[in-house]
Amino acid sequence: MSHPEQPPAVTVARLPVPFPETAVLLDVREPEEWQAGHAPDAVHIPMGDIPSRSGEIDNQSEVFVVCKAGGRSARVVEYLNRVGFDAINVDGGMLAWQDAGRPIERDDDSHEPRII
């Protein structure tokens, strides 16, 4: 029985600093997760919106995909690579990003409705 091939992945420690202009950091978490804290200069497209919004991503760039822990982003990497992108999963996601001491921005002044 064959196992599906793991999508390409990189650890947070191996991500380039600063990010080159030829690369994109794509955050596929939900809006409330994004607002709680995200990587500076990341592009936010929630996982469920990727098929309809993939045209917003530069298909000439290397696309590093991040979620909270790496599961959702791995599925997005598989999809993007199938449709012609050069996508790489960020192992450990934003949890690993934060643990590595990488910078995080928050959207405290968001105008999106919040459910309380």
> Which pLDDT value is given to residue 65?
98
Quick check: is 67 catalytic?
A: yes
The C-alpha atoms of residue 25 and residue 18 are separated, in whole angstroms, by 11
Report the candidate in 83, 48, 41, 34 with the shortest Cα–Cα distance to residue 64: 41
Q: Is the pLDDT of residue 103 over 80?
A: yes
Annotated active-site residue in 28, 65, 66, 67: 67
Q: Is the pLDDT of residue 102 over 90?
A: yes
pLDDT for 17-60, tens place per residue?
888 889 999 999 999 999 999 999 999 999 999 999 999 999 99
Distance from the first to the final alpha carbon of the chain: 47
Domains and CATH numbers, the chain: 9-99 (3.40.250.10)
